[in-house]
Structure 1
Amino acid sequence: MKNQQIGNWQSLLAGILTSLIIILSINSFVIVNPGEAGVLSILGKARDGALLEGFHIKPPFISTVDIYDVTVQKYEIPAQSSTKDLQELTAKFAINFRIDPTQAVEIRRKQGTLQNIVTKIIAPQTQESFKIAAARRTVEESITRRSELKEDFDSALGERLDKYGIIVLDTSVIDLTFSPEFARAVEEKQIAEQRAQRAVYVAQEAEQEAQAEVNRAKGKAEAQRLLAETLKAQGGELVLQKEAIEAWKMGGAQMPRVLVMGGSDKNSNSVPFIFNTGNLQN
């Protein structure tokens, strides 16, 4: 009986020892997966050197490992600022970033969790960076030169977050709005520009019409000058005779069958012009 009790105690002790060994074994290592970084803390104090992906030994029971996701994170963060011309400008940025794995220990010591990083670091630095970018231009320039606004914002944000171990990969302006007062000003400006363009068009049209009148007057004067020169030249009277006949014919008057034109004066040098007007009518 006694031997049986000793055997039972030995079996129980062996079971306890086995359990302790298993527990110790489980708590003596940690596996860090790809895309993660670990921070080892012993008795509440973070140890230098981040635990990168792979198998790591750690003291059991007195140590913990905080795991940080170092893959790309995306957050949408609102921001508001005054522009160079003191107009209110509101924006929303989509920020893609990741934690520098080598800086995980410092992030654990100073910022703590990823949520703290977003609310205490990224959000306020986004606001400050937007103020820097917006203050360099007017609200109209911020809208019409949106890419330049984004470049200034990216430069300021990247420089500010780099010292916290946060790597900015990309930003996007997903919303950019301005005050109702500026919206009305833009609308009024567009209306004024349209009216000005219309006035310019009307002025140009009037100028073109005036120039056309001048050209017509010049053409008429030139025609009269040429006609006068023709009349002075030899045979000019023939031209007048033909013009008279044409006018008579166009007027619809009954013309004589035979018409004699020319001077009957003996001293006249003009040559009599005799023809059958029936030929004209035919």
Structure 2
Amino acid sequence: MGWFVSVGLALAVMVVAALIGKSLRRNSGREERTAGRVLTIAGPLVCLVWIGLHTGRNMIHQVPAGNMGVVYKFGAIRGQISEGLQTVAPWCSVKIQTIQVERHVFQNMEAFSQETQDVFVRATLNIRVSPDAIQELYRTIGPNYFQVLVESRVAQNFKDEIVKYKSVDIAPNREPIRQAVRGRLEGELSRYSIEVVDLLLDNVDFRPEFKSAIEAKQIATQRALEEEQKVLVERHRAEQAVERARGEGQALLEVATKQAEANALLSASLTPQLVQYSLIQKLGDKIQVMILPSGQNFILDANMLRQTQDQDEDNR
């Protein structure tokens, strides 16, 4: 449309210049006739240059690498052109559309957990449009296809998947949630020739008061585990003490048993003569006189004392 306006304006300028030139040539003055001839000649030349430049500008288009050009004619899509230097009719316009991977970040998408706790998701979506489907996508959806098709689906799919989990189970199940959302997006966008290259779940967050409650619960749980560990340690020590006492008692029992056996053997081997002989051996060799209380029995046999004395004298 702009090209036609420009051409019409150029032709109007040329006609006006021609009329003015013709009017000036009718005058008797030499300068006026010269100016009239200049206008008559310059008008068409300026018009042609104007139309030529505008036509060339509208016809030649440079499509950058990794992009496609959608050709419009009077507001309707008439085709597409590939990357490089391309030409179209001057009355057509071209809109550049990338076919490279596009990165879109979704900040603080709201969702809900199974117990209706607020969840805030930050995700990154990488998509790419099929080069062969650009004009069809523009024709059926429009240049704002991302806002129409993608944004709402990403938010809704995250809501549908996150609500399946309790708040405390969302973080451990980030990967299943991401895969589920990506699978749903691939199925929904493939019919529009939009490829989901990747979906990243950057962050999952909750309200500050909920995070404080979770942190307090974790601290309490940790303290409970520490106390439980202390109880286990004390129980283990008590069991060790019981086992030690049992072992010591068993050892004492063994000692007592062996001592009793030894005493029994010793008692069986003792005779009166052996006892008296052992007693005499304990007495000092310088004893000449022994005084005993009256009425007391003397454990030593007098004959044995004499025999022992005689043996001592013989040894001298």
1:43 to 74, 89, 110: 74
Counterpart-to-counterpart distance in 2, 1:268 and 1:179: 98
Match of 1:67 among 74, 87, 96: 96
| CA drift at 1:206 | 2.7
Q: Decide whether the 8 Å contact of 2:58 with 2:93 is kept in 1.
A: no
Contact 1:42 1:64 in 2 (8 A): yes
Task: Give the residue type in structure 1 aligned to 2:125.
Answer: I
Instruction: Decide whether aligned partners of structure 1 residues 217 and 28 sit closer, same or farther in structure 2, where only a CA change above 3 A counts.
Output: closer
The amino acid of 1:196's aligned partner reads A
Give the deviation of 1:271 after TM superposition.
8.9
Map of 1:163 onto structure 2: 191
Shift in alpha-carbon separation, 1:15–1:192, aligned structure 2, 3 A: closer
SS at match of 2:100: coil
- 1:148 pairs, out of 148, 172, 176, with 176
1:77-88 superposed matches below 5 A: 77=106, 78-88=108-118
Judge which range, 118-127 or 24-33, deviates more: 24-33
Corresponding residue for 2:272?
266
Partner Cα distance (2:277, 2:41) in 1? 162
Displacement of 1:53 in angstroms is 1.1
Q: Shift in Å at residue 128 of structure 1?
A: 0.8
Larger Rg: 2
**Counterpart AA for 1:112:** G
| 1:210 alignment counterpart | 238
For 1:31, what is the secondary structure of its paired residue?
A: strand
How far has the Cα of 1:180 moved from its partner? 3.9
- 1:98 is aligned to 128
How many residue pairs are counted as aligned between the two chains?
248
- Give the 3-state SS of the residue equivalent to 1:177 in structure 2: strand
Q: Using the alignment, how far apart are the partners of 2:209 and 2:245 within structure 1?
A: 54
Q: Which amino acid aligns with 1:223?
A: A
| TM-superposed deviation, 1:143 | 0.9
* AA partner of residue 38 (structure 1): G
Q: TM-score, normalised by structure 2?
A: 0.65
Does the 8 Å CA contact 1:95/1:172 hold for their aligned counterparts? yes
Q: Deviation per CA, 1:123-147, whole angstroms, max 9, x where unpaired?
A: 2111112112212322222112322
Residue 50 of structure 1: SS of its match in structure 2? strand
Q: How is 1:95-134 mapped onto 2 (pairs within 5 angstroms)? A: 95-113=125-143, 116-134=144-162
Q: 1:268 to 1:158 in 2, by over 3 A?
A: farther
Q: Structure 1 residue aligned with 2:262, among 224, 234, 239?
A: 234
SS state of the match for residue 262, structure 2? Answer: coil
Distance 1:103 1:59 in 2: 22
Segments of structure 2 that go 5 or more residues without pairing to the other structure are 1-24, 27-33, 283-316
Q: Deviations over 1:138-186 (max 9, x none)?
A: 2222112322222222222333333333332223333311134532442
Change (3 A) 1:226 1:98: same
Question: Are the equivalent residues in 1 in contact too, given 2:138–2:145 (CA < 8 A)?
Answer: no
What is the TM-score with the length of structure 1 in the denominator?
A: 0.72
Task: Provide the rounded CA distance (Å) in 2 between the counterparts of 1:105 and 1:203.
Answer: 73
The equivalent residue for 2:62 is 31
Q: Give the one of 223, 226, 230 matched to 2:251.
A: 223
Cα shift at 1:15: 5.5
Q: Give the 3-state SS of the residue equivalent to 1:105 in structure 2.
A: helix
Instruction: Give, as a single letter, the amino acid of the residue that structure 2 aligns with 1:168.
Output: V
Q: Give the number of the structure with larger relative contact order, counting CA–CA contacts within 8 Å between residues 6 or more apart.
A: 1
The answer to whether residue 218 in structure 2 is matched with residue 187 in structure 1 is no
Q: Which amino acid aligns with 2:100?
A: T
**Which protein has the bigger helix share?**
2
**Contact between 1:80 and 1:88, CA under 8 Å: does it hold in 2?**
yes
